[in-house]
A and B are shown apart, each in its own frame.
Chain A
Amino acid sequence: MEELGLLMQGFGVVLEPQNLLLMLVGIALGVLIGVLPGLGGANGIAILLPLTFAMPPVSAIIMLSCIYWGALFGGAITSILFNIPGEPWSVATTFDGYPMAQQGKAAEALTAAFTSSFVGAFVAIVMITFIAPVIAGFALRFGPPEFFAVMFLSFASFIGMSKGPALKTVCAMMLGFLLAAVGMDTVTGQLRMTFGSTEMIRGFDFLVAVIGLFGISEILCSIEDGLRFKGERAKIDAKVVLKVWVSLPKHWWLALRSSFIGCWMGITPAGATPASFMSYGVARRMAKDGASFGKGRIEGVIAPETAAHAAGTSALLPMLTLGVPGSPTAAVLLGGLIMWGLQPGPMLFVEQKDFVWGLIASMYLGNVVGLIVVLVAVPWFAAILRVPFSIIAAIILVVCAIGAFTVSNAEFDITLMLLFGVIGYVLKKLDYPLAPLVLALVLGDRTEEAFRQSLLISQGSLGVFFSNWLVSSIMAMGFALLLWPVVSWVLERISAHRSRTGAVVPREA
């Protein structure tokens, strides 16, 4: 087992005292970020990214990925205690988590949520450990057409699997591509879409966009519902934890199924949010008494949390092996790799063994540390939300502004951040998905480059994307996903036509 040897080397890297400390700092910051409204995994990491330039890349990625794990854990705290999902992927956790808290079973719900998060993440990490090297080895043979096909597939799956209207997904995605193209064309050196402005030559940095789209807009959205958080109190003691842990093994099948749903949804860039909903839906449908879901069933906490954490973790698999991130947060981490001077993609596994295996080892350890930290410190993190919103909101705005500025030391970026905040607020309220916008902004240049290089190979013929079985099958899968909304719409029409009694076919989430 070559992987196990490399993994042990990775543990050697992670167990250096400095890296262990960074891991703890990352987890604590991550939970904090997950609890606070307006700061999430993606923009929290975006804000902190510029501060890591001086660190060795492996230390930086350990800290930032631990922020990610922490944020995944932290989202559950606010969902269960306050009925406010701190992160989009914990929305489904509120359905049964908050009722449990109202019935005085907050500690049980929290323990179940944290433990199943851990289980989901663990399954995903084991999968990454053994599958990632295989995929990376396979992808070493990829040329530009294959890379373009993979990106096409991941964008197509956004359109095919999105919950919202497909046209809006297309709009958001295309806007991302256009924003990525603004500025200097890296191939010809020509200025594009700057419209005579010198500020635009630098182009739009996706970190600034992420801070605005996810941070500022979240503040604007949460202010709409007033300024107060009402929450249940919780203190977790060892007795409750043990009681819940004893009761958990009987849900092993639920946890395993949710983990698989999560892993699958995380690899395809659908992300953690739909994974948590889907897993919750499947759990309800498979249960004998599905109607009692939503009234405080522990299964209703286990299913979405396991899936969300599995998806969030496995989103790093395509990011590491192909350079195509599976979630906005993974996209921000990918941006980090580029800034630290690493070339994302399969070559990482060949040239940066320490980095890759250090990261994978830190996932194992980080999730254990994370589980302990959240179980011990829940009351303190919950206390943060009792600080008045007027103070928290102002501080988050200041932190976002500083974060946007430090990306490239430009005051204009703060203005841009605010603009993206307002755009994000409107788009969010209108049900435009933000994740494809961010992913297109991050991957736009590389997608275009792969596209142009492919055309150079074929002297301009689009046939290059169907020139061998590998690239053709990836493209075919992409087209199948792309056409899926149309197909399902037609099928729905037909079945609605057949049953004129008014029975509507439920749409799959």
Chain B
Amino acid sequence: MSAERGLRMSMVEAGTALAFALAGMAAIGDSLRIGTGWGTDGPKSGTFPFWIGLILVAASAGTLVQAVRARTESGLFASWAQLRLVASVLVPTVVYVAAIPSTGIYVASAALVAWFMHRLGGFGWARSAAAGIGVALACFLVFEIWFLVQLPKGPLETALGY
């Protein structure tokens, strides 16, 4: 066993190839539903995606075979420590994206910046919060006022009259 433990490359390789194949099959299935081949007014809607799906399934099957063959010599996709680091960025980002519809983008952005600075950067809460609010305010000025682009807003902006 290698010194560092983590997700094996061959596992991810095979999983990705399978996902590609599934996407191809989904395309083939849907294309068959709406019809492939020659219709009354030219090629039917499903013709092009049908063939693309077929090529995708074939190519991912080939990749899968290569991945299975090379499974013994493949290294790590990422060590658990690396994956933890990735999760420390990804999980807050997922929460951020999920929060946008209810809180609006400005409040969520301020929270994201503050969280990153405090948790990943080791800054104090006061400085982190100040930076978060600063970024949100800057975005507000640039987009709502300068470029007149409407971004998603939540209860706070409504309370402030926007």
Q: Please tell me if the beta carbons of A390 and B117 are within 8 angstroms of each other in the complex.
A: yes
Name the one of A170, A187, A219, A460 contacting B55, with C-beta atoms under 8 angstroms.
A170
**Do residues A430 and B13 form an inter-chain contact, with CB atoms below 8 A?**
yes
Docked-complex contact A397 and B16, CB < 8 angstroms: no
B152 proximal to A (CB < 8 A): yes
Give the CA-CA distance A51 to B149 in the complex, in Å: 8
Is A171 within 8 A of B78, CB to CB? no
B139 touches A452 (CB 8 A): no
B158 touches A (CB below 8 Å): no
Which single member of B16, B59, B78, B105 contacts A224 (CB below 8 Å)?
A: B78
- Which secondary structure dominates where chain B touches chain A? helix
The dominant DSSP class at the A interface is helix
User: Are A394 and B101 closer than 8 Å at their CB atoms?
Assistant: no
- Chain A proximity of B64: nearest CB distance (Å): 10
Decide: A174 and B52 in contact? CB cutoff 8 A.
yes
Contact A426:B16 (CB < 8 A) given known A390-B120, A401-B105, A406-B151: yes
- The answer to whether A178 and B52 touch across the interface, beta carbons within 8 angstroms, is yes
- Those of B19-77 within 8 Å (CB) of chain A: 20, 23-24, 26-27, 30-31, 34, 38, 41-49, 52-53, 55-56, 59-60, 62-63, 66, 77
Cβ A401 vs Cβ B116 within 8 A: no
* CB-defined contacts of A391 to chain B, threshold 8 Å: 113, 116-117, 121, 131
B143 sits at the interface (CB 8 A): yes
CA distance A425 to B113 in the complex (A): 22
Whose C-beta in chain B lies nearest to the C-beta of A460?
A: B38
Q: Is the CB–CB distance between B135 and A174 below 8 Å? A: no
Give bound CA distance, A16 to B75, whole Å. Answer: 57
Contact A390:B116 (CB < 8 A) given known A51-B147, A193-B27: yes
A277 contacts partner chain B, Cβ-Cβ < 8 Å = no
Interface contact B89-A418, CB-CB below 8 Å: no
Q: Give chain B residues whose Cβ lies under 8 Å from the Cβ of A227.
A: 85, 120-121
Is B141 at the interface (CB under 8 A from chain A)?
A: no
List which B84-112 residues lie within 8 A (CB) of chain A. 85-86, 88-90, 93-94, 96-97, 100-101, 105, 109, 112
Q: 1/0 per position for A174-192, CB-CB distance to B under 8 A?
A: 1101100100010110101
Asked if A226 contacts B62 (CB within 8 A), the reply is no
Q: A201 at interface (Cβ–Cβ under 8 A)? A: no
Interface membership of B2, Cβ < 8 A:
no
Extra contacts besides A178-B23, A401-B109 (13): CB < 8 Å: A167-B60, A168-B59, A171-B17, A171-B59, A178-B49, A220-B89, A223-B88, A397-B112, A401-B97, A429-B77, A432-B16, A452-B48, A456-B43
Chain B residues with a Cβ under 8 A of chain A: 9, 12-13, 16-17, 20, 23-24, 26-27, 30-31, 34, 38, 41-49, 52-53, 55-56, 59-60, 62-63, 66, 77-78, 82, 85-86, 88-90, 93-94, 96-97, 100-101, 105, 109, 112-113, 115-117, 119-123, 131, 135, 139, 143, 147, 149-152
